[in-house]
Chains A and B, each alone.
Chain A
Amino acid sequence: MNTKNELNNQARRNFIGKIAGVTGLALAPGFVLHQVANAKAPEDAVTNKVRWGILINTNKCATGCNDCVSACEKENAWGSASDNESHSAKEQKAQWIRKVTLTDKQTGYVNSLPLMCQHCETAPCVDVCPTGASMKREDGIVLVDKHICIGCRYCMMACPYKARSFIHEELKNQSVNAPRGLGTVESCTMCVHRIDNDGTPACVEACSSAMTFGDLNDASSKISIELKQNGGEQIRADLGLNTGVRYQGI
Protein backbone atom coordinates (compact mmCIF):
# COMPACT_ATOMS: atom_id res chain seq x y z
CA MET A 1 0.00 0.00 0.00
CA ASN A 2 2.73 2.34 1.02
CA THR A 3 4.78 1.51 -2.03
CA LYS A 4 1.83 2.12 -4.27
CA ASN A 5 1.11 5.47 -2.63
CA GLU A 6 4.73 6.50 -2.99
CA LEU A 7 4.66 5.57 -6.62
CA ASN A 8 1.49 7.56 -7.08
CA ASN A 9 3.02 10.48 -5.24
CA GLN A 10 6.10 10.33 -7.39
CA ALA A 11 4.05 10.28 -10.56
CA ARG A 12 1.95 13.15 -9.29
CA ARG A 13 5.04 15.13 -8.32
CA ASN A 14 6.57 14.60 -11.71
CA PHE A 15 3.38 15.71 -13.36
CA ILE A 16 2.98 18.79 -11.19
CA GLY A 17 6.63 19.59 -11.77
CA LYS A 18 6.09 19.50 -15.50
CA ILE A 19 3.01 21.66 -15.28
CA ALA A 20 4.90 24.17 -13.15
CA GLY A 21 7.66 24.29 -15.71
CA VAL A 22 5.15 24.69 -18.47
CA THR A 23 3.38 27.53 -16.68
CA GLY A 24 6.69 29.25 -16.07
CA LEU A 25 7.51 29.04 -19.75
CA ALA A 26 4.12 30.43 -20.62
CA LEU A 27 4.70 33.45 -18.42
CA ALA A 28 8.20 34.16 -19.65
CA PRO A 29 7.19 35.75 -22.98
CA GLY A 30 4.88 38.08 -21.04
CA PHE A 31 7.87 39.76 -19.46
CA VAL A 32 9.43 40.34 -22.84
CA LEU A 33 6.23 42.01 -23.96
CA HIS A 34 6.45 44.33 -21.00
CA GLN A 35 9.91 45.51 -21.94
CA VAL A 36 8.72 46.77 -25.29
CA ALA A 37 5.43 48.12 -23.97
CA ASN A 38 5.92 51.43 -25.78
CA ALA A 39 6.32 49.80 -29.15
CA LYS A 40 3.47 49.97 -31.64
CA ALA A 41 1.76 46.65 -32.20
CA PRO A 42 1.49 45.73 -35.91
CA GLU A 43 -2.31 46.00 -35.80
CA ASP A 44 -2.32 49.47 -34.21
CA ALA A 45 -2.77 52.56 -36.35
CA VAL A 46 -0.26 55.37 -35.97
CA THR A 47 -1.38 58.36 -33.91
CA ASN A 48 -0.52 62.03 -33.75
CA LYS A 49 0.91 61.52 -30.27
CA VAL A 50 4.26 61.15 -31.97
CA ARG A 51 5.80 63.36 -34.62
CA TRP A 52 8.84 61.85 -36.20
CA GLY A 53 11.72 64.10 -37.07
CA ILE A 54 15.36 64.10 -38.08
CA LEU A 55 18.00 66.54 -36.89
CA ILE A 56 21.07 67.03 -39.03
CA ASN A 57 24.21 68.65 -37.68
CA THR A 58 25.86 70.04 -40.81
CA ASN A 59 29.08 70.82 -38.90
CA LYS A 60 29.64 67.10 -38.64
CA CYS A 61 28.53 66.39 -42.20
CA ALA A 62 31.70 65.88 -44.25
CA THR A 63 31.94 67.27 -47.77
CA GLY A 64 32.20 64.37 -50.17
CA CYS A 65 30.73 61.84 -47.75
CA ASN A 66 27.78 60.08 -49.33
CA ASP A 67 26.96 57.46 -46.71
CA CYS A 68 23.39 58.58 -46.07
CA VAL A 69 22.60 58.62 -49.77
CA SER A 70 24.03 55.16 -50.43
CA ALA A 71 22.26 53.74 -47.38
CA CYS A 72 18.97 55.10 -48.72
CA GLU A 73 19.68 53.75 -52.19
CA LYS A 74 20.40 50.33 -50.79
CA GLU A 75 17.40 50.27 -48.46
CA ASN A 76 14.89 51.43 -51.04
CA ALA A 77 16.54 50.07 -54.21
CA TRP A 78 16.97 53.22 -56.29
CA GLY A 79 19.94 54.97 -57.91
CA SER A 80 23.16 53.02 -57.83
CA ALA A 81 21.52 50.18 -55.89
CA SER A 82 19.29 49.31 -58.83
CA ASP A 83 19.92 48.72 -62.50
CA ASN A 84 16.62 50.36 -63.41
CA GLU A 85 16.03 53.77 -65.00
CA SER A 86 18.72 53.21 -67.58
CA HIS A 87 16.74 55.14 -70.19
CA SER A 88 16.12 58.23 -68.07
CA ALA A 89 18.29 61.30 -68.25
CA LYS A 90 20.33 62.15 -65.17
CA GLU A 91 17.99 64.90 -64.06
CA GLN A 92 14.99 62.62 -64.52
CA LYS A 93 16.26 59.82 -62.31
CA ALA A 94 14.94 59.19 -58.83
CA GLN A 95 16.54 61.17 -56.05
CA TRP A 96 15.10 60.47 -52.63
CA ILE A 97 17.99 62.15 -50.83
CA ARG A 98 20.94 64.13 -52.18
CA LYS A 99 23.98 65.92 -50.88
CA VAL A 100 24.00 69.70 -51.35
CA THR A 101 27.13 71.81 -50.99
CA LEU A 102 26.78 75.50 -50.19
CA THR A 103 29.66 77.96 -50.33
CA ASP A 104 29.47 81.34 -48.63
CA LYS A 105 30.80 83.75 -51.27
CA GLN A 106 32.03 86.26 -48.71
CA THR A 107 33.89 83.97 -46.35
CA GLY A 108 34.41 80.92 -48.50
CA TYR A 109 32.86 78.71 -45.79
CA VAL A 110 31.66 75.44 -47.30
CA ASN A 111 28.56 73.78 -45.92
CA SER A 112 27.60 70.26 -46.90
CA LEU A 113 24.23 68.76 -46.05
CA PRO A 114 21.81 66.04 -47.09
CA LEU A 115 18.50 67.27 -48.47
CA MET A 116 15.38 65.15 -48.76
CA CYS A 117 11.65 65.42 -48.09
CA GLN A 118 11.38 67.71 -45.09
CA HIS A 119 8.11 66.10 -43.90
CA CYS A 120 6.34 69.44 -43.44
CA GLU A 121 3.44 69.79 -41.06
CA THR A 122 1.59 71.90 -43.63
CA ALA A 123 2.95 70.25 -46.71
CA PRO A 124 2.43 72.09 -50.03
CA CYS A 125 2.53 68.77 -51.91
CA VAL A 126 -0.47 67.54 -49.92
CA ASP A 127 -2.31 70.80 -50.58
CA VAL A 128 -2.02 70.63 -54.35
CA CYS A 129 -2.62 66.93 -54.95
CA PRO A 130 -5.83 66.49 -56.98
CA THR A 131 -6.43 62.87 -55.93
CA GLY A 132 -5.35 62.76 -52.30
CA ALA A 133 -2.41 60.55 -53.16
CA SER A 134 0.04 62.96 -51.60
CA MET A 135 -0.73 62.58 -47.94
CA LYS A 136 0.57 63.04 -44.42
CA ARG A 137 0.30 60.28 -41.85
CA GLU A 138 -0.88 61.04 -38.34
CA ASP A 139 2.69 60.79 -37.09
CA GLY A 140 3.88 63.50 -39.49
CA ILE A 141 5.42 61.37 -42.25
CA VAL A 142 4.57 62.67 -45.73
CA LEU A 143 4.02 59.93 -48.30
CA VAL A 144 2.73 59.28 -51.81
CA ASP A 145 -0.09 56.78 -52.05
CA LYS A 146 0.98 55.32 -55.37
CA HIS A 147 -2.22 53.31 -55.58
CA ILE A 148 -4.08 56.49 -56.44
CA CYS A 149 -1.27 58.71 -57.79
CA ILE A 150 -2.06 59.71 -61.38
CA GLY A 151 1.42 61.05 -62.06
CA CYS A 152 0.39 64.67 -62.66
CA ARG A 153 3.47 65.95 -60.82
CA TYR A 154 1.75 68.98 -59.26
CA CYS A 155 3.41 68.01 -55.98
CA MET A 156 6.85 68.13 -57.58
CA MET A 157 6.13 71.68 -58.69
CA ALA A 158 4.82 72.67 -55.27
CA CYS A 159 7.67 71.28 -53.21
CA PRO A 160 10.11 74.06 -52.24
CA TYR A 161 12.84 71.50 -51.58
CA LYS A 162 12.71 69.69 -54.94
CA ALA A 163 12.39 66.52 -52.92
CA ARG A 164 10.22 64.47 -55.23
CA SER A 165 10.93 62.59 -58.41
CA PHE A 166 8.84 60.90 -61.06
CA ILE A 167 9.44 57.45 -62.49
CA HIS A 168 9.62 57.50 -66.27
CA GLU A 169 10.12 53.83 -67.08
CA GLU A 170 9.14 50.33 -66.06
CA LEU A 171 11.00 49.01 -63.06
CA LYS A 172 11.89 45.51 -61.96
CA ASN A 173 13.26 43.95 -58.78
CA GLN A 174 12.09 46.62 -56.43
CA SER A 175 12.83 46.37 -52.73
CA VAL A 176 10.06 44.70 -50.79
CA ASN A 177 10.24 47.71 -48.47
CA ALA A 178 9.76 50.33 -51.14
CA PRO A 179 7.24 49.61 -53.87
CA ARG A 180 7.90 52.03 -56.74
CA GLY A 181 6.85 52.03 -60.35
CA LEU A 182 6.22 53.72 -63.65
CA GLY A 183 4.04 56.82 -63.74
CA THR A 184 4.07 57.66 -60.05
CA VAL A 185 5.82 60.27 -57.95
CA GLU A 186 8.02 59.27 -55.05
CA SER A 187 10.17 60.73 -52.33
CA CYS A 188 11.79 59.99 -49.00
CA THR A 189 9.43 57.95 -46.81
CA MET A 190 11.57 58.43 -43.70
CA CYS A 191 11.88 54.64 -44.00
CA VAL A 192 8.32 54.26 -42.78
CA HIS A 193 8.57 50.45 -42.94
CA ARG A 194 11.40 50.60 -40.43
CA ILE A 195 9.70 53.13 -38.17
CA ASP A 196 6.58 50.97 -38.00
CA ASN A 197 8.81 48.18 -36.71
CA ASP A 198 10.50 50.43 -34.14
CA GLY A 199 13.48 51.02 -36.37
CA THR A 200 15.54 54.00 -37.43
CA PRO A 201 15.68 55.40 -40.98
CA ALA A 202 18.51 53.91 -43.04
CA CYS A 203 20.27 57.28 -43.49
CA VAL A 204 20.36 57.95 -39.76
CA GLU A 205 21.59 54.45 -39.11
CA ALA A 206 24.42 54.99 -41.61
CA CYS A 207 25.38 58.35 -40.09
CA SER A 208 24.67 58.45 -36.40
CA SER A 209 27.35 61.14 -35.88
CA ALA A 210 25.57 63.91 -37.78
CA MET A 211 21.97 62.69 -37.87
CA THR A 212 19.51 62.10 -35.05
CA PHE A 213 16.09 60.53 -35.44
CA GLY A 214 13.32 60.71 -32.87
CA ASP A 215 9.96 61.89 -31.65
CA LEU A 216 9.65 65.69 -31.71
CA ASN A 217 6.60 65.51 -29.42
CA ASP A 218 8.49 63.68 -26.69
CA ALA A 219 10.41 66.22 -24.62
CA SER A 220 12.71 63.50 -23.25
CA SER A 221 13.75 62.11 -26.64
CA LYS A 222 17.34 62.66 -27.75
CA ILE A 223 16.29 64.81 -30.69
CA SER A 224 14.08 67.08 -28.56
CA ILE A 225 16.76 67.54 -25.92
CA GLU A 226 19.33 68.41 -28.57
CA LEU A 227 16.93 70.84 -30.26
CA LYS A 228 16.15 72.50 -26.94
CA GLN A 229 19.80 72.87 -26.00
CA ASN A 230 21.36 73.82 -29.30
CA GLY A 231 18.47 74.71 -31.57
CA GLY A 232 17.79 73.62 -35.09
CA GLU A 233 16.75 75.58 -38.14
CA GLN A 234 14.34 74.84 -40.92
CA ILE A 235 15.38 75.37 -44.49
CA ARG A 236 13.13 78.10 -45.89
CA ALA A 237 11.67 78.77 -42.46
CA ASP A 238 10.00 81.84 -44.02
CA LEU A 239 7.47 79.53 -45.64
CA GLY A 240 6.15 78.48 -42.23
CA LEU A 241 5.88 74.81 -43.10
CA ASN A 242 7.07 73.48 -39.72
CA THR A 243 9.33 70.86 -41.17
CA GLY A 244 10.10 67.58 -39.46
CA VAL A 245 13.69 67.68 -40.68
CA ARG A 246 15.83 70.29 -38.93
CA TYR A 247 19.40 71.45 -39.44
CA GLN A 248 22.15 72.78 -37.21
CA GLY A 249 24.99 74.91 -38.51
CA ILE A 250 23.34 76.43 -41.55
Chain B
Amino acid sequence: MLFRAINLKLFVLVLAGLTIALPVTADNFEGIVPPPKAKASEINGCVAPVEDMRKNHMEKMLHQRDKTLREGVRTKQHSIAECVNCHITPKKDGSYANFGENEHFCSSCHNYAAVSIDCFECHRDKPEKLDYKHSQIKNTNPHHNDIAFSEKNTQTTETLDTIKSGDSK
Protein backbone atom coordinates (compact mmCIF):
# COMPACT_ATOMS: atom_id res chain seq x y z
CA MET B 1 0.00 0.00 0.00
CA LEU B 2 2.81 2.31 1.02
CA PHE B 3 4.65 1.45 -2.16
CA ARG B 4 1.57 2.31 -4.19
CA ALA B 5 1.23 5.67 -2.49
CA ILE B 6 4.85 6.47 -3.27
CA ASN B 7 4.33 5.42 -6.86
CA LEU B 8 1.30 7.66 -7.12
CA LYS B 9 3.25 10.59 -5.69
CA LEU B 10 6.05 9.95 -8.10
CA PHE B 11 3.62 9.79 -10.96
CA VAL B 12 2.09 13.15 -10.01
CA LEU B 13 5.57 14.66 -9.67
CA VAL B 14 6.60 13.40 -13.07
CA LEU B 15 3.37 14.58 -14.63
CA ALA B 16 3.84 18.05 -13.12
CA GLY B 17 7.42 18.14 -14.29
CA LEU B 18 6.42 17.23 -17.83
CA THR B 19 3.64 19.80 -17.91
CA ILE B 20 5.95 22.61 -16.87
CA ALA B 21 8.73 21.46 -19.09
CA LEU B 22 6.91 20.95 -22.38
CA PRO B 23 7.66 24.26 -24.12
CA VAL B 24 11.40 24.42 -23.65
CA THR B 25 12.87 20.99 -23.63
CA ALA B 26 12.30 19.50 -27.00
CA ASP B 27 15.81 20.19 -28.24
CA ASN B 28 17.54 18.59 -25.31
CA PHE B 29 15.15 15.78 -24.61
CA GLU B 30 14.17 14.53 -27.97
CA GLY B 31 11.85 11.58 -27.74
CA ILE B 32 10.59 12.42 -24.25
CA VAL B 33 8.50 15.40 -25.34
CA PRO B 34 7.22 16.39 -28.75
CA PRO B 35 9.15 19.07 -30.66
CA PRO B 36 7.83 22.65 -30.54
CA LYS B 37 5.85 23.93 -33.46
CA ALA B 38 7.96 25.74 -35.97
CA LYS B 39 7.26 29.37 -36.80
CA ALA B 40 4.17 29.75 -38.93
CA SER B 41 3.37 26.09 -38.52
CA GLU B 42 0.90 25.09 -41.14
CA ILE B 43 -0.74 22.47 -38.98
CA ASN B 44 -3.40 25.04 -38.11
CA GLY B 45 -2.58 27.49 -40.87
CA CYS B 46 -0.13 30.31 -40.23
CA VAL B 47 -2.56 32.55 -38.40
CA ALA B 48 -5.93 30.88 -38.69
CA PRO B 49 -7.32 28.00 -40.75
CA VAL B 50 -6.93 28.59 -44.46
CA GLU B 51 -10.68 28.98 -45.09
CA ASP B 52 -10.90 31.65 -42.43
CA MET B 53 -7.89 33.51 -43.78
CA ARG B 54 -9.18 33.47 -47.34
CA LYS B 55 -12.43 35.05 -46.27
CA ASN B 56 -11.39 37.28 -43.41
CA HIS B 57 -7.72 38.25 -43.75
CA MET B 58 -8.63 41.86 -44.54
CA GLU B 59 -10.64 42.21 -41.33
CA LYS B 60 -7.75 40.95 -39.25
CA MET B 61 -5.31 43.30 -40.93
CA LEU B 62 -7.62 46.28 -40.65
CA HIS B 63 -8.02 45.67 -36.94
CA GLN B 64 -4.31 45.20 -36.43
CA ARG B 65 -3.26 48.32 -38.33
CA ASP B 66 -5.15 50.61 -35.98
CA LYS B 67 -3.97 48.74 -32.91
CA THR B 68 -0.38 48.98 -34.07
CA LEU B 69 -0.30 52.55 -35.25
CA ARG B 70 -2.44 54.12 -32.57
CA GLU B 71 -1.76 51.92 -29.56
CA GLY B 72 1.69 50.55 -30.30
CA VAL B 73 0.53 46.92 -30.16
CA ARG B 74 3.16 45.03 -32.10
CA THR B 75 2.15 41.40 -31.95
CA LYS B 76 3.29 39.49 -34.98
CA GLN B 77 0.28 37.32 -35.71
CA HIS B 78 -1.66 39.84 -37.81
CA SER B 79 1.22 42.09 -38.77
CA ILE B 80 1.56 42.89 -42.46
CA ALA B 81 5.33 42.59 -42.28
CA GLU B 82 4.94 39.03 -41.04
CA CYS B 83 2.41 38.23 -43.79
CA VAL B 84 4.98 39.30 -46.31
CA ASN B 85 7.87 37.57 -44.55
CA CYS B 86 6.14 34.22 -44.48
CA HIS B 87 4.11 34.21 -47.66
CA ILE B 88 6.53 35.64 -50.15
CA THR B 89 7.74 33.11 -52.69
CA PRO B 90 11.20 33.36 -54.20
CA LYS B 91 11.44 33.31 -57.97
CA LYS B 92 13.73 30.95 -59.88
CA ASP B 93 16.67 33.32 -59.58
CA GLY B 94 16.11 33.65 -55.84
CA SER B 95 14.80 37.23 -55.99
CA TYR B 96 11.38 38.23 -54.72
CA ALA B 97 8.51 39.49 -56.83
CA ASN B 98 7.15 42.99 -56.33
CA PHE B 99 3.50 43.56 -55.64
CA GLY B 100 1.70 43.67 -58.96
CA GLU B 101 3.58 40.76 -60.48
CA ASN B 102 1.62 37.51 -60.59
CA GLU B 103 4.29 35.71 -58.58
CA HIS B 104 3.70 37.95 -55.56
CA PHE B 105 1.61 36.13 -52.98
CA CYS B 106 -0.92 38.96 -52.56
CA SER B 107 -1.20 40.00 -56.18
CA SER B 108 -1.58 36.44 -57.50
CA CYS B 109 -5.11 36.38 -56.07
CA HIS B 110 -5.86 40.08 -56.21
CA ASN B 111 -4.92 40.34 -59.87
CA TYR B 112 -7.14 37.37 -60.66
CA ALA B 113 -10.08 38.74 -58.68
CA ALA B 114 -9.47 42.31 -59.90
CA VAL B 115 -9.57 43.63 -56.37
CA SER B 116 -7.13 46.47 -55.93
CA ILE B 117 -5.50 47.00 -52.58
CA ASP B 118 -3.57 49.95 -51.31
CA CYS B 119 -1.24 48.30 -48.80
CA PHE B 120 1.93 48.35 -50.83
CA GLU B 121 1.81 51.99 -51.89
CA CYS B 122 3.44 52.52 -48.52
CA HIS B 123 4.34 49.13 -47.04
CA ARG B 124 7.32 47.13 -48.15
CA ASP B 125 6.19 44.32 -50.47
CA LYS B 126 9.01 41.85 -49.84
CA PRO B 127 11.06 40.75 -46.86
CA GLU B 128 13.94 42.95 -45.80
CA LYS B 129 16.06 39.95 -44.89
CA LEU B 130 16.73 38.08 -48.10
CA ASP B 131 17.50 34.79 -46.40
CA TYR B 132 14.15 34.66 -44.64
CA LYS B 133 12.73 31.16 -44.62
CA HIS B 134 9.71 29.83 -42.88
CA SER B 135 8.45 26.41 -42.07
CA GLN B 136 7.04 24.67 -45.10
CA ILE B 137 5.60 21.31 -44.28
CA LYS B 138 4.32 19.01 -46.96
CA ASN B 139 0.77 17.64 -46.84
CA THR B 140 -0.62 19.94 -44.17
CA ASN B 141 -1.08 23.02 -46.28
CA PRO B 142 -2.99 22.67 -49.53
CA HIS B 143 -1.60 25.95 -50.80
CA HIS B 144 1.97 24.82 -50.52
CA ASN B 145 1.24 21.54 -52.21
CA ASP B 146 -0.38 23.40 -55.07
CA ILE B 147 2.54 25.67 -55.69
CA ALA B 148 5.12 23.04 -55.03
CA PHE B 149 3.83 20.46 -57.42
CA SER B 150 2.18 22.47 -60.16
CA GLU B 151 3.99 22.78 -63.46
CA LYS B 152 3.95 26.54 -63.32
CA ASN B 153 5.71 26.89 -60.00
CA THR B 154 8.56 29.35 -59.96
CA GLN B 155 10.16 28.35 -56.70
CA THR B 156 13.85 27.72 -56.25
CA THR B 157 14.89 24.08 -56.15
CA GLU B 158 16.07 24.64 -52.60
CA THR B 159 12.63 25.79 -51.52
CA LEU B 160 11.00 22.92 -53.34
CA ASP B 161 13.24 20.47 -51.53
CA THR B 162 12.20 22.03 -48.25
CA ILE B 163 8.56 21.64 -49.15
CA LYS B 164 8.96 18.05 -50.27
CA SER B 165 10.99 16.91 -47.32
CA GLY B 166 9.39 19.03 -44.62
CA ASP B 167 11.12 21.40 -42.28
CA SER B 168 14.38 19.92 -41.09
CA LYS B 169 14.56 22.15 -38.00
Q: Chain A residues in contact with chain B, CB under 8 A? A: 12, 15-16, 18-20, 22-23, 25-29, 40, 42-46, 135, 137-139, 143, 145-147, 170-176, 179-184, 192-193, 195-197
Contact = CB atoms under 8 A, between A and B. Distances in A.
Nearest to B80: A179
A46 B72 contact: yes
B124 A174 contact: yes
Given A146-B122, A172-B98, A179-B124, A43 B73 contact: yes
B32 A139 contact: no
A42 B76 contact: yes
Contact of B124 (A23, A138, A173, A193): A173
A226 B80 CA distance: 39
B20 A23 contact: yes
Interface stretch (B10-18, B43-51, B108-116): B10-18
Contacts of A26: 20-21, 23-25
28 contacts: A19-B14, A20-B17, A22-B17, A23-B17, A23-B21, A25-B21, A26-B20, A26-B25, A28-B24, A42-B74, A42-B76, A43-B73, A44-B72, A44-B73, A45-B73, A137-B71, A139-B72, A147-B65, A147-B66, A171-B121, A174-B122, A175-B128, A180-B122, A181-B122, A183-B121, A192-B72, A193-B74, A196-B72
A29 B71 contact: no
A85 B25 CA distance: 51
Interface string B32-74: 1000000000000000000000000000000001110111111
Contact of A42 (B65, B73, B128): B73
Contacts of B98: 172
A179 B122 contact: yes
Nearest to B16: A23
Contacts, number: 93
Contacts of A143: 69
A181 B121 contact: yes
A182 B74 contact: no
A68 B49 CA distance: 45
B97 interface: no
B74 A196 contact: yes
Given A181-B121, A181-B122, A22 B73 contact: no
8 residue pairs, one from A and one from B, having the closest CB atoms: A181-B122, A22-B21, A45-B71, A19-B17, A179-B122, A181-B121, A46-B72, A179-B123
B69 A174 contact: no
B75 interface: yes
B29 interface: yes
A31 to B, nearest CB: 13
Interface in B104-152: 121-124, 127-128
B73 A137 contact: no
B20 A135 contact: no
A195 B68 CA distance: 13
